[in-house]
Structure 1
């Protein structure tokens, strides 16, 4: 009987290696087709430039820029869609104002700094007074002082802006003569300061006109104070709410048990964690002052973007309306994005 040429599986090289406890060698070409030898997870696939802290910063910055661009593009699309519906054909350059006969962009450069100046002083008043009031109310919860601060906050939510402005004019301007009346400066100071930044307080100091500076501040303090009161009410209420949450935490109780002074417990242990959400609150309040100052500007004859927008609406000046709307929307987007960026910087958990 002839010998068969078929190899016996029992004595094949692979089985011989296994029998001896030796793992068969895997060739490179076989390794490429092994299903479990490559990690296909997204974490394993990293771009060279996206690794490390610098890479994460670049990716985050790119996402921030894309988000701002897409948001502003949506604002442009909505605004110019509205412009197509009304009887006007936007050209993309804001056009010329029917009311003033000047390009809208020049009018906006003139009126927006006035609103920015008033809103900035208003938010400073709201932050300087509102944050301590909220902290004080939370640390004295249930007392008469807490109730007074809460009533002030409720009053700031309920009272109309035009009513508060009229009362302020009647008391502090007409009766007490503590502040100047409507307008940005007295009529005989108008036009004496060359606009550099558009901010009257800054430009008067640059020009060395201290008398005009104090006159402009006297005109500014009442409308900015009205805006600051509404900002104060909002910031104080939110600060109180944040502080009550923190004062109920166990680490605050532990600090008090250890004998840490109450001042340090409040401002170091309880107040620091609320700085991040307070930034968002103050940013939203600032944006609200910039876009919601129409009534205040109208009452005080303040030459800002709110007064300009009101006049444009009454005169059916749609080029001016679209331009002012775009500027207000762009500022609102910018402030929100800056708040988000500060949030990420101060809170590592949000990175």
Structure 2
């Protein structure tokens, strides 16, 4: 190598780094544009829903007996006298400022109400997802390994039952059996009445707040209340995750690299749980992420059955009260959750699959 080749090699490496950086910046810019367009489309659909539902937001705010001048004044304040394109521009600006309107039901800002109730849903959905992943993945792997034999049939029936039976029915049966008959678990709600007000502030997740405050009696009571609704939702999540895990594992176990590994004498445990499951995690990460997002959106029926004061329970009460600001605000939050979870799934996909990088 001559002395002239050294700067030439450095220039070539520097140019390669610049091209990679420019490609990464273009990909990031494209991702930001895609997210912005998706969120704008979500807001546009939400705006149209608010305009086509047969509920007058002015009457919901002022009541049926309000004078005509009061009705007109509130209509102007809400901007409903403006053309639709200006109404949408105003709505878009409000949402970007974090203003989701005022709730008729609670007389509080909708954003404040959602921040208050969302930690309860986060606690419930996270617990249920842990149950679904830590039980559903081994069940799916076992069913795939024993494909066509009795363990596969049993696990498929268990999964099919959880996937088909209405979740509110399971909740009612669970309350009747474990709370009403056996008295093994406490009833609806997040805490017994005697513990209400013991924990002030914090994250809103009772288990974390009670542990940080050292209130272990509250922690045990909150955990006992969480067991039944989390188990019901976890069973629903388990059924979906185990079914998808089985499908992904059957596909991987039929690949040539698995046959090669077995021919070389590799232990079956390593073949199944390291190599096959390692490759199945790539699509499985997306399945788990979307399952988590579905639970985070507010498990309406479960939260209603168990009087769990989360996003789903708040949305149900708002719908029954024709509180459209709260309903549309929850819709925006749910859509934002799905967008965020999808971004996380894409990032996990790139981390788990070198080909995607």
Residue 156 in structure 1 maps to residue 183 in structure 2: no
Contact 1:119–1:286, Cα closer than 8 Å, also in 2? yes
Match of 1:324 among 326, 330, 355: 330
Q: How does 1:190-205 map to 2 (within 5 A)?
A: 190-205=196-211
Paired residue total: 304
SS of structure 2 residue aligned to 1:271: helix
Q: Does 1:349 align with 2:343?
A: no
Alignment of 1:119-158 (within 5 A): 119-158=125-164
Correspondence 1:3-22 to 2 at 5 A: none
Aligned to 1:114: 120
Offset, 1:116: 1.1
Q: Distance in 2 between matches of 1:53 and 1:149?
A: 47
Q: Do the aligned partners of 2:39 and 2:336 also contact (CA within 8 Å) in 1?
A: yes
Aligned to 2:47: 80
Label 1:50 to 1:83 Cα distance change in 2 as closer, same or farther (>3 A).
Answer: farther
Q: Deviations over 1:167-215 (max 9, x none)?
A: 1111222222222110011111112101211111111112111111111
Q: 2:31 aligns with which of 64, 70, 88?
A: 64
Change (3 A) 1:105 1:49: farther
- Aligned position for 2:100: 94
Work out whether residues 298 and 310 of structure 2, in 8 Å CA contact, stay in contact via their aligned partners in 1.
no
Is residue 230 of structure 2 the alignment partner of residue 227 of structure 1?
no
- Give the distance between the partners of 1:302 and 1:133, measured in 2 at CA: 29
Q: For residues 307 and 163 of structure 1, what CA distance do their matches in structure 2 show?
A: 17
Q: How does 1:278-317 map to 2 (within 5 A)?
A: 278-291=284-297, 293-317=299-323
Match of 1:240 among 240, 246, 267: 246
How has the CA–CA distance of structure 1 residues 60 and 184 changed in structure 2, closer, same or farther, with 3 Å as cutoff? Answer: same
The change in CA–CA distance for 1:145 and 1:292 in structure 2 (over 3 A counts) is farther
Q: Which whole-Å CA distance do the structure 2 matches of 1:294 and 1:83 have between them?
A: 20
- How far apart in 2 are the matches of 1:320 and 1:97? 6
For residues 238 and 352 of structure 2, the distance between their equivalents in structure 1, rounded to whole angstroms, comes to 23
TM-score normalised to structure 2 length: 0.82
Which of these two proteins has the greater Rg computed from alpha carbons?
1
Per-residue deviation at 1:292? 5.2
Distance in structure 1 (CA, Å) of the matches to 2:318 and 2:223? 28
User: Following the alignment from structure 1 to structure 2, what is the Cα–Cα distance between the partners of residues 161 and 188?
Assistant: 29
> How far apart in 2 are the matches of 1:140 and 1:192?
50
Q: Aligned-pair distance for 1:350?
A: 2.0
More helix by share: 2
**d(CA) in 2 for partners of 1:242 and 1:119?**
24
- Structure 2 matches for 1:24-35, cutoff 5 A? none
Alpha-carbon separation, structure 1, partners of 2:277 and 2:197: 46
Candidates 340, 344, 348, aligned match of 2:346: 340
Distance in structure 2 (CA, Å) of the matches to 1:346 and 1:56: 21
Residue 49 of structure 1 deviates from its aligned partner by: 10
* Alignment gaps of 5+ in structure 1: 1-47
Quick check: 200-209 or 117-126, which moved more?
Answer: 200-209
Root-mean-square deviation (Å): 1.7
Displacement after TM superposition at 1:51 (Å): 3.1
Q: Indicate conservation of the 8 Å contact 2:298/2:311, yes or no.
A: no
